[in-house]
Each structure stands twice: as structure tokens, then as C-alpha cells.
Structure 1
Amino acid sequence: MSGLFTEAHALAQDLADPLAHFRALFHIPQHQGRDQWYFCGNSLGLQPKSVRAALQQELDDWAAFGVEGHFHAKHPWMPYHTELRDLLAECVGAKPLEVVAMNSLTVNLHLLMVSFYRPTPTRPAIVIEQGAFPSDRYAVESQIRFHGHDPAECLIEVGADSDSGLVTEDALAQVMAEHGHRVALVLWPGVQYRTGQAFDLRAISVLGHTHGSKVGFDLAHAVGNLPLQLHASGADFAAWCSYKYLNAGPGAIAGAFVHERHATAALPRFNGWWGHRQDTRFKMGAEFQGSPGADGWQLSNPPILAMAPLRASLEIFQQAGIDALRRKSKALTGYLAALIAQELAGVIRNVTPADPERRGCQLSLQVLAGREAGRALFEHLMAEGVIGDWREPDVIRLSPTPLYNRFGDCYHAVRVIKQWADAR
């Protein structure tokens, strides 16, 4: 075990890494003349070098063709979103019919809740985890109020374990056993943003459906991080952003999943003309005819300049393969976790599950000396070029991303923390 904490050991693992060459496909930010040790792919993924050419192609086609670019661009704009289907479906374990790139995450959650949160006087409640990402909580509260209900009575939060800080699936099962008859929707994360805890989507879908509720997932921290198998999960819907592990750029276009069983269902939804059937869309009829599958939830024509970076990144994911990325992720995150446990046991507490099956790339760390010390360590890491992020009240998140992070990055991150701890 002691041999883990050597630069030579880390370099040997990097030399043996079959995915090491993918790092060269990304721009790595610089710090004092060298590459940053970048651990923030869970917040903003790095830029693929192919993005510039992808954007330039669309700009060139706009310049050359004007409106005719909808039909004559290298990647014609009219069906552009359909060209992302197979790539997205492969990435999230869905059928092409079930996925679409559109809007932003919270917009998609609202649009999907229009269809899948249908409260009744006896079944008005939504279940989320305690400490959910604020945007999700805001969205859920506003949906409950929009339907004339009181969040104080109809928003049910599943509490975290007092010792581990994790929200267990057993706790969710207990809540559903008590309140399931009142629950219209379970909205759950694929990965909890603060702790990095990953959940069994299939088990949660079965639990929710057993109690008669719809089940949806916010996959912001799971997509591009874990093999998701969304179709097999049985979830009714899911939504995600694409600027984290999917590397599609700040504020990137998001994605949505609607299970195949709802592909042609007469569900209530907010309609827009790009959700209309493609074969009759331009007949400009007054009656809405929804496209089958997730396409039917679209509102407006897709933003091509926002979709081009996502396309470029998804092509890299296809080359690497999500299963191979997951294997490296387990090894890379496991190495960082082992170094922290070995070298920083009296300094750092890792609040992310120890079981590799219950986490993705992210480790969430607390400094044992308290919040102020934690904040001081975070500032020290940033000053030294170790780039993670801070989540209140006291968590430093480090996420070794398999497409571009190295074992050497993990070694140097722990080395910098040890230097800080020794100097205190």
C-alpha cells in the first residue's frame, strides 16, 4: 500500500492506461507554465479540440448557404437533432426514439413534469432527496404551487443518514411505504451532487411504480459518468445537462429521455412546432400532431451552434466506449480514494461511498478541522493549480474524469494537500 504514494507508481499506471491518448483530444488549462491538475469535470468539462472545427463548419455553412444550410450544410440543420440521437442513446443506454437534445436541464424538467406530474386531490405529492440541488427543489416547489397545492404538505424530502450523510434507498423505501399512496412523482438524482452518491435507477423505478407513482431522474451528475441503461431502468423520464461530463461547453444544450412506452401516449404537454410530426410540420396546420418519442416534447427548432459542441464530444465518447471509461473511472477514482485514506486519514474525511458501484468519478471531501480549514485548503488547492470546486457548507469536490485525467493528477492533488496539512 505504501508504494501507492509515489510519482513513479502513478506514472506507471498512466503508461499502462489504454485510454491515455484521449487526453490529447482536449484543451488542458494552464497554470504557471504547466497543465492544471483539473478535477472539475463534474462542474464544467474541458473543451474537446474538435469543437472549434465543428463550430467553424456551421459558421462556414451559414456563410455559404444562408437559409439553404437547413438542407445543404455538411450536417443539414433541419434534421440536425436527429443526427445526435444514436450518439445520445448509446451514451445513456436508451433507444434512439427515447432521447432528444433540447433546452436546458431545468426547462426540460418543467416540460416533463407537465406530462408526468399529474396530481390529484388524493395523490398530490412529489418525493425528492433532502439536500437536492436547489434548482430541482425550486422547480418542484413551483410545480406543486402551480397545481394549487402547498409544498409544505406535498413536498416530501427523504432525509440523509445522520452518520454517513447519505440518502439510502432503504430510507426512500420507508418513505414510500408510509406516503406512497399520496405520491404522484418520485424525482431522484442519478448521482447526488454534493456527496457523489450514485443510485440504482432500476430499483428506484420499480419502487416508485409499485406504489403507483411516476418516476423521473435528474442525471446532471450521472450522464457521461456512469453507464445508465435508461431504457432498462423503466424510468418514465429523465433530464440532464451536457456541460459537465459531456463536455459540451458552458450553458450547453441539455437532454431528455422519455421511455418508449410513452412514445405515442396521449399525455398532456406544452406543445411547440418542432414537436410536431416532421412529415406534416411545414403544412402549417392548426392541429398539433405530436412526433412519436422524445421528439414530441421539443418546442422550437434546435440551436445548431449549441449542438455542434455536443456532437463533437459525443463522438469522442463513442470512440472511447462508456464501459471502457467506466473501468478507468473505477481505477482512477479508486486510486485517489486510496491515497486519501492512506496519506490523509487524520486530515480529510471522504463522504462519498467507498463502494465503487455506489459512486462515479466524484469524491466529496471534508476537512476534519472544520469549515474554515476546509475553505483554506480549497483556496490553497486553487492557488497550486489543483482545480476542484466548493459546495456549501463544507465540501471540496474532486472528480478525476477518465477522458482526460491521469493517475499522476491524483498523486499531485494528494501531494499538495499533504504539503498544506504539514504546514499547518
Structure 2
Amino acid sequence: MNFENSLSFAQELDLRDPLKSYRDLFHIPKVNGRPALYFTGNSLGLQPKTARSFIEQEMKDWEMYAVEGHFKDSKRPWMYYHKFLKDSLAKLVGAKPIEVVSMNQLTVNLHLLMVSFYRPTERRFKIIAEAGAFPSDQYMFETQIKHHGLNPDDTLIELKPRQGEHNLRTEDILKTIAETGDELALVLLSGVQYYTGQLFDIKSITKKGQEVGAKVGWDLAHAMGNVPLSLHDWGVDFATWCSYKYLNSGPGNVSGVFVHERYAHDSNLPRFAGWWGQEESTRFQMTKGFKPMTGADGWQLSNVNVLSSAAHLASLEIFDKVGVNALREKSLLLTGYMEFLINELSGEENIFEIITPKDPESRGCQLSIFCHKNGKMLFDALSSEGVISDWREPNVIRVAPVPLYNTFEDVYHFARILKEHIQKM
């Protein structure tokens, strides 16, 4: 499409947008009495208007039935609450329901999955990750490696972009995997890199890692609900994600995990167990001897946090209606329009540099804008005008036009405000 830098063009795109009605399903925050230009769904998604009623239903059932709400009378019996989310989560990650479960928080799940899938030996012990991974991942790697009595400096291979580049090349990732060979125990990368917004080639990297005998897992915090995934068909060993970013399930809300079907009946696979992972038919017998439920359910520890899961369910209901492929189609157009406007602003002076990959297939809906000068001043100026974006040291403004609730007019006004403040500096 040939984009134009005009309000009328943006408004025309919005009129033709088949997903335009979904914006009305969310609460848009206000700044100075006006709806904000909200571009931080990559940190915290907006609140679905139905979330309150979903939570209120559970509050009412708690009021009416108390403990009996676990098994009967309540609209969604709490004993089985995790099952109500399975079909939706499976569709979003390209999995079978037996392969997914909603539980815990992201970092907790990373640690739990490492127990099962990082099994270092004297020969095969190394881990490949991206340099500059999110701190939770970095700390997880450090402490897991030390837990096995190993030295992180000798164990962790951190992939860095080539000199003068911002993103990892798939060919370099695959080459490192091949060169590490039978010393490689695990590849664990972000599906979408939080700082640059790069979407990795999950299929190719998974295949290459497994060819040399390693397990391959993915942190999908910035990929879940953002890009289409096919974890089952790609043969991914395991993955985890959070639900408060693109899944719009509320601050700090529940995570989820994927464990491939080939491990569904492997009760000998090491894991840290909890009573909610125990075989459902014998769970309340309270006897010794852990017998895990089949599939991802066998990694559960505790019973479900029903109130927070209700908000999660409200959001997933929206994803069921729209579908991730339709979201991706709009996302490519919306992000492409923002890229066009930013590049036009940068001009010959090269004020900005978008460090997110130029190839639309190698990114989600986030653009990371590297500011060559006055970055923090520009970010503060945007904030004062009602633009909610994200500043990352030392000089990056992260902006995520989310297709569920952002509009082309939002994107136009973001660029307009940015231009006005550039001219003042």
C-alpha cells in the first residue's frame, strides 16, 4: 500500500478497518481529560470492558456458595477453572488443548520448565540465549546454572548482533547452534525480543537445536497475542508467556505454559510437583506418590487464582471472536503506517533510527525508535501531550500500535505530535 501523511488518509483506513469495532470493547485511559494515545500494550494491555462483569460473577458465586462454588452451583465451577481457558490458549499458540495450561507467573514457569528440560551432563551442558534478554530471563539463567554447580561464564552462550547491527541474523543463530553441537543442552530465546521487537524464526531455530540433540524452549512474553504461532507443528519442546501484555488480562496476571504432546505421558520427566498437578481422579485422596496429570496440566502446582483468571477469560473471549490471523493482518498495516511516518520525520538528518527489523515478517506490532539526540526530552514531551509510550535506557522509545484497540488516526497523531516537538528543539 502507498501510505500518505494526512489525517484524511488515516481516517479512511479506519473506516475500511474490519476490526474497528473492537476498540469499543476496551477502556481507553484519559490524559488531561482526553483519550490517551496508548501505545504500551507491549507492557500492559488495556482493560476489556467485560472484565469487571467476569470478576463480579465469581464474587457473586463466592458470596452465594462459598466453598461449594468449587464443585457445583457456580456458573464456572472453580475446580475446573483452568480448563475453561485451554481451547482459547491452544488456538493462540497453535497447540492442542492437552499441551497448554494457565498457571503461575512467567518467571516461576521458566524455573519450573528448566527443572524438566535443562538436564546438563558433563559433556552436554551449554545454553544458547540472546544477549540482553529481559532481566528475569538473565537472572533465571544465572541461578539455574549455578544450581547445577556450573559457571555461567562457561555455560551460557549469549548471541549478539554483528558489529553495527541491532538484530540477530537467523543464519548466525543456526551457525552457533551447529558449532556448539553435542555440548548444547538447551536453546531458550524470546519469541519477540523485548528491546528491539525482533521476531525470531521459531520454526527454523527449533529444528536446528533439536537436530544437534538439544531441547528448545521459548519465552513468548512479547509474542503471545501479538503474532501467529504454531508451537505444536514446529515441534517446540516447551514455552511460557504472560497474559498482561498483548493478552490484556490485567496487571501481573497469570502466565501459561506449553509442553509438547510428546511429553504428555512421560511421568518420569523430572519436575517440581504440586497437588494441582496430581492426577485429578486421586487428587483429594491426599496420599503419597505423585502421579502427574497428562499433558501440560501435570506441571501445575497450586489451585487456580479464580478472580484473576476471570479477567483472563474475559480477554480470551475477545481473541476467540477476532482470531490471531485477522489481528496479524491489521498489525502489519498499522505498524507499517507508523514506520512510514517515523521514517519521513527522520529525513536526511537521521534524527531517528528504527532498530526493529524492517522486514514485517521479522517483527510484531512493536517499533523501537533509537533517538540519536534529545530522546528523553522527546519522550517527556510526548507524555505531556497524552501519548503513553515506553522509554528504555539509554535512548529508545518503544511504541506498540496494538491492532485490537489502536487506530490509524492514533498513529497519525503520534507522528504529528512528534513532529511538533522536533521542530521546537
TM-score by length of 2: 0.97
Mapping of 1:75-154 within 5 angstroms? Answer: 75-154=76-155
CA distance in structure 2 between the partners assigned to 1:337 and 1:275 by the alignment: 46
Query: Which stretch has the larger CA shift, 320-329 or 171-180?
Result: 171-180
Q: 2 CA distance for matches of 1:338 and 1:161?
A: 26
Q: Which residue of 2 aligns with 1:59?
A: 59
Match of 2:27 in 1: 27
Q: Does 1:11 align with 2:11?
A: yes
Structure 2 letter corresponding to 1:21 = S
- Within 5 Å, which residues of 2 pair with 1:267-416? 267-345=269-347, 346-369=350-373, 373-416=374-417
Alignment of 1:184-203 (within 5 A): 184-203=185-204
Question: After the TM superposition, which of the residue ranges 103-112 and 178-187 deviates more from structure 2?
Answer: 178-187
Q: Which moved more, 1:120-129 or 1:171-180?
A: 171-180
8 Å contact 1:115–1:269 — kept in the other structure?
A: yes
SS in 2 for 1:397: strand
Structure 2 Cα separation of the partners of residues 3 and 41 of structure 1: 24
CA offset digits 1:42-94 (Å, max 9, x no partner): 00000000000001000000000000000221011000101110011011111
How far off its partner does 1:341 sit?
A: 1.4
How many residues end up aligned between the 2 structures? 421
Matched position secondary structure for 2:76: coil
* Secondary structure of the corresponding residue to residue 97 of structure 1: helix
Structure 1 residue 3: deviation in Å? 6.5
Residue aligned with 1:149, SS = coil
**How many angstroms apart in 2 are the aligned matches of 1:161 and 1:400?**
28
> Could you list the runs of 4 or more consecutive aligned residues of structure 1 that deviate by over 6 angstroms after TM superposition?
none
Give the Cα separation in 1 of the matches to 2:92 and 2:311. Answer: 15
Superposed displacement of residue 343, structure 1: 2.6
In structure 2, runs of 5+ residues without a counterpart are: none
Name the residue aligned to 1:37.
37
1:232: Cα distance to partner? 1.1
1:282 is displaced (CA, Å) by 1.2
Whole-angstrom CA distance in 1 between matches of 2:304 and 2:142 = 29
Check the 8 A contact 1:237/1:259 in 2, yes or no. Answer: yes
Q: Distance in 2 between matches of 1:267 and 1:229?
A: 24
Offset of 1:283 from its aligned partner?
Answer: 1.7
**2:92–2:228 Cα contact (<8 Å) kept:** yes
Q: Aligned partners of 1:293 and 1:129: how far apart in 2? A: 29
- Write the distance in 2 (CA, Å) between the matches of 1:179 and 1:29: 49
- Contact 1:344/1:418 (<8 A) preserved: no
226-235 or 58-67, which moves further after superposition?
226-235
1:398 is displaced (CA, Å) by 0.3
In 1, the alpha carbon distance for the partners of 2:110 and 2:231 equals 16
Pair 1:157 & 2:161 matched:
no
Question: Are the equivalent residues in 1 in contact too, given 2:3–2:337 (CA < 8 A)?
Answer: no
TM-score scaled by structure 1? 0.98
- Give the aligned CA root-mean-square deviation in angstroms: 1.1
**Alpha-carbon distance in structure 2 between the residues aligned to 1:395 and 1:162:** 19
Shift of 1:33: 2.0
Return 76-85 or 344-353, whichever deviates more.
344-353
Q: Does 1:262 align with 2:263?
A: yes
SS, match of residue 301 in structure 1: coil
- C-alpha deviation, 1:2, in angstroms: 9.0
C-alpha contact 2:3 2:340 (8 A) present in aligned 1 = no
Deviations 1:121-143 (A, max 9, x none): 11111110011111101101111
CA apart distance, 1:178: 2.2
